[in-house]
Chain A
């Protein structure tokens, strides 16, 4: 395991392939024609398409001098190859280009070209999204220069709605809503339901997660984790609003604080309304897990404890917290057992999302499980945790702690299998993994919703046919 971790740390961050002259000429030779470009006497660039004979190992090319031009010989000229594949109704794909610079010389009616340097991009080697991510610094440079020119800050923009969505990573709120509502529903089944505090619980819990999401970006920025990640996806790599210049670091820190303060105030209100030592303990533990997830000194996620922290935070703490608000502190095994599959499945969201981030994370010492473990172990770990989630669910029903309709959540097994099968072929392809990560989010969401549906069946039957017992044993 240590060897694997060391190997991961030493794995070089993927870069746009640096092209040496021979590689550049080899690529250039693969294009059906080349474009000779030089700066003419009037100072304008001039381009002529021609066919060059390329000797990549020798670092040279030769071509017939284009008619009507005097190609300069004492300065750098270039040869470029460019390719697209038209896709009617869409645009085009298969973008690639390469340019090789060097000096030309006239030899009879031909010209020789000795290459000196090369540059290019091939989206088959560096996907467009990664290429864009690697260019973020250039965008910042552009806006900084424009700000200086205008004497006032100029920043990239997004509409407020999109910016709010991106900044807070709002769609991930399902990780909170599922356990909290489940906790409330279980309490309701047991005869405890107080609508005002139930609503307050949902809102307060949502603020805790929003605070966590934003604080995670703040502390990852401080520690360089997001900058080191050049393959973020919609599921991984943070919101990146700080890196993109959309929101300042100070604004993000203020936003995280605001969310936590709002959550804290609601927590205090709930304590005042439904106070119990259990709620106080769960609330304090939740705050510690949430803030300590990325923030020093705890930095759970940097120590390989992020997965466990998320499992505890978005499993038992959220679910039991919502439950004890309703029961005024009374605890039972049912909500705890119900929280375990949810905890494992939410942990697996983070776990899979960490896979594409692992190289960047390793560079900044963020030693998540995919950083520490080998590919085979990570994939095996997914399978073990997913199986455990379903086994606990079935066992909970079998021993009579969970209602039979809770087994509806087993309907998500095909989705989990889809994720399991998708990890192997896409492990090293962040963009291929996106679809897998999307399905993995659905496993948790749908399992949670199906558990809720199971409890809805219990509540409805309890109302219309109280004699029907949906618990075994």
Chain B
């Protein structure tokens, strides 16, 4: 069941890229551009084991944020959002577990299915874990401007 405001869901569904920020062991924010995948309830991102340092950080500190800021990546929309939440790493089956999100991924990046068919060429890229984010707080800029304070809502109450 959706817990996010409609414009935020629209951004999540449209975004070809968002910025996942995790907190490293020294307390510094570390930002990774990734494709956000939204199933109507939770936000998912996938990470190849090749680029799995972010997973180490999340396991040590699950507090993360996901921002969608790039108008080019959302079809020209100028509104922006940052979603703070708690993340967990799903890694029961790095070889194929993530493929349940392939239909959502394919909508944003159709070429991924062709690359997957040729996984022999880049096998480690397709060994992947899922990052599942449970949203806690949403900060939404309708005009996308930092000069305006964002509308803040608790993710659990936003849909009410």
Residue ranges of A at the interface with B (Cβ–Cβ < 8 Å): 33, 35-40, 42-50, 64, 66-68, 75-78, 80, 82-86, 89-92, 95, 97, 99, 101, 129, 132, 135-136, 138-139, 141-143, 145-146, 154, 156-158, 162, 165-166, 234, 244, 246
Contacts and interface: CB of A to CB of B under 8 A. Distances in A.
Given A37-B21, A234-B121, A156 B63 contact: no
A50 B72 contact: no
Contact of A156 (B73, B109, B112, B123): B123
Contact of A84 (B72, B91, B94, B127): B72
Given A92-B16, A132-B122, 18 more contacts: A35-B67, A35-B69, A37-B29, A38-B29, A46-B82, A47-B19, A47-B65, A47-B67, A77-B29, A80-B19, A83-B70, A84-B33, A90-B109, A92-B17, A99-B30, A141-B52, A157-B95, A162-B123
**Which A-B residue pairs are the 7 nearest by beta carbons?**
A68-B149, A91-B109, A45-B21, A66-B146, A47-B67, A135-B50, A49-B69
Q: Which of B52, B61, B64 has the largest count of A CB atoms less than 10 A from its CB? A: B52
B124 interface: yes
Interface string B57-101: 000010111010110110000001010110000010011000000
What is the predominant secondary structure among interface residues of chain B facing chain A?
mixed
Contacts of B50: 132, 135-136, 138-139
Contact of B124 (A95, A139, A165): A139
Contact of A44 (B19, B63, B73, B146): B63
B3 interface: no
Contacts of B31: 35, 37, 45, 47, 78, 80, 82, 97, 99
B148 A67 contact: yes
B109 A64 contact: no
A82 B49 contact: no
Given A84-B16, A91-B16, A92-B16, A39 B29 contact: yes
Interface string B117-152: 001111111010000000011010100101111101
Contacts, number: 174
B42 interface: no
A66 B67 CA distance: 15
B49 A143 contact: yes
Contacts of A101: 28
26 contacts: A35-B31, A37-B29, A43-B63, A44-B136, A47-B82, A49-B146, A75-B28, A78-B28, A78-B30, A78-B31, A80-B31, A82-B17, A82-B70, A91-B110, A92-B109, A132-B50, A132-B124, A138-B53, A139-B48, A139-B49, A139-B52, A154-B94, A156-B49, A165-B120, A244-B123, A246-B123
A39 to B, nearest CB: 6
A462 B15 CA distance: 69
A91 B69 CA distance: 18
Nearest to A51: B146
What is the predominant secondary structure among interface residues of chain A facing chain B?
mixed
B12 to A, nearest CB: 15
A244 B121 CA distance: 12
Given A45-B64, A91-B110, A132-B50, A146 B149 contact: no
Nearest to A78: B29
B33 A82 contact: yes
B120 A44 contact: no
B147 to A, nearest CB: 6
Contacts of B28: 39, 75-76, 78, 101
A278 B19 CA distance: 68
B11 interface: no
Contacts of B146: 36, 48-50, 64, 66-67
Contacts of A86: 16, 72-73
A84 B19 CA distance: 12
B4 interface: no
A80 B31 CA distance: 7
B22 interface: yes
B120 to A, nearest CB: 4
B37 interface: no
Contacts of B149: 67-68
Given A68-B150, A135-B51, A156-B124, A45 B22 contact: yes
A44 B147 contact: no
A428 to B, nearest CB: 22
Given A39-B23, A142-B49, A44 B33 contact: no
Contacts of B51: 135, 138
A87 B65 CA distance: 26
A141 B26 CA distance: 20
A37 B152 CA distance: 17
Nearest to A84: B17
A89 B110 contact: yes
Contacts of B152: 68
A27 to B, nearest CB: 14
B127 to A, nearest CB: 5
Contacts of B64: 44-45
Contacts of B124: 132, 136, 139, 156, 244
Given A136-B124, A244-B123, A46 B95 contact: no
Nearest to A93: B111
A48 B82 contact: yes
A50 B147 CA distance: 9
B149 to A, nearest CB: 3
Contacts of A166: 120, 123
